[in-house]
Structure 1
């Protein structure tokens, strides 16, 4: 629960930064050769509750819908060297926008283009935030995550199930290599100290990688 709350607050801050940045950029309407202009995202006056509720739904969508998207399109993540994650984030942002009771802003036309731009910014900012604060540190708690999707996969026909399982396994291997390598690389730096402090004091994780070393 504590990790969920932290992720909600951080995602709310990321969303605020994205809206403020894109709100300063004026684009032609209709895009690209129209005579009018409008900000890419015009803030609708959503307050703290609006941002936190939007971020909470986004975190839930990332936890439950994102694994399904990765399972279906995992091969594209590797064939595009990870760039397809922007598309996945765009889909999760769109789903969140449909589910959120409070709308944060009005997006200029064409909406799809600016959602992709917002998703690219979200991908970059969340990656930096995860790296700095250690939200992507290897999980040593022994808790089994994603059990629900594995049960769902067991009910699928064998050929389709095998393809999806392969996508998930590849993503798990990539995540394990990336998070462990990043943790080792930053272990002796001030960023590493910040990651460990945040993990213990804010997230509340007790397990520590005390003997992690490169092979």
Structure 2
């Protein structure tokens, strides 16, 4: 299966560089480019890509606003958004997560990391740059309104609630399997069921929901 990608960045050289790297992969195809946030919204509506690489600082409409518009019109979970930026500042991470992005990667990361990130995010895994620590994620969570609304969580079994807590703490399927002493495939199945029951796009949304509902507390 080929992953389709739209690249949104106001710098031509950046778009061309990313396109060359991604188009060289046998399972990835760049189907469109955008130099503004508004163009990114239009491109995603017309091309229906699996994923959009979204720069934060762009003219007309910034990447965070564009992300909100794109995801608001994507009830089927496509596209997922991988935010790219040169700025390793907490507020951009908060903004990206709040806008519904599934990943956050610094532009100066190795190009091989970009390819891995595209595949991970397209597969539904949340991805954050190595420089983005748990402190930053918890800082974002601390800004969320504490609704304490656990109604959505009542559909989950006790084991699935446990899995959601581990997802919110940033554990991978392999880590979850080790923690719960189960097979990795079983952990993957639990994660899929959690996302399905809660009607979540990916792990990033699961992290936000877990903190919003008070299931996980910053600094815990």
TM-score, normalised relative to structure 1:
0.28
Higher helix share: 1
- Kindly name which structure, 1 or 2, has the bigger radius of gyration based on alpha carbons: 1
